[in-house]
Amino acid sequence: MTENNPALTVKAIRGSGGETVLAVEGDIDLTSADSLRGELLSAVEHGTTVLDLAEVGFCDSSGLRVLVEADRKARSHGATFRLAALAAPVEQLLELTKADEVLDVFPSVEAALKR
């Protein structure tokens, strides 16, 4: 487990097919967004990356910026970036900003990996 900020932990799980699942726990805000960015941007360059957001208690615009940046980077590398199992605060932010219409969102990690 990589712990970059006391309020945020990111655990990377690499699959046998080359996919990566990053499970995030904690708050994604101004103080932790750069930590998430570091983990996420290196992962999204290759294959499929699924960001498991089930254990996120809060996400602000700093976190949203990281998600959009990761999506853009994945697309520019011909890779796939998906969000899965959105916690209520993340789901509300994506709906409010209409980012859920741009980002690939799935109800579970399993569903995101099947596609």
Q: Which of 80, 76, 17, 69 has its CA nearest to residue 39?
A: 69
Q: Where are the alpha helices (DSSP H) in the chain?
A: 33-43, 61-76, 88-97, 109-114
- Reported as a pLDDT band with limits 50, 70 and 90, residue 6 is low
Q: Say how far apart CA 64 and CA 100 lie, in whole Å.
A: 11
pLDDT for the residue numbered 27 = 96
Amino acid letter for position 109: V
pLDDT > 70? residue 4: no
Tens of pLDDT, residue by residue over 51-73, are 999 999 999 999 999 999 999 99
Task: Calculate what percentage of the chain has a pLDDT beyond 70.
Answer: 95
Domains and CATH numbers, the chain: 2-114 (3.30.750.24)
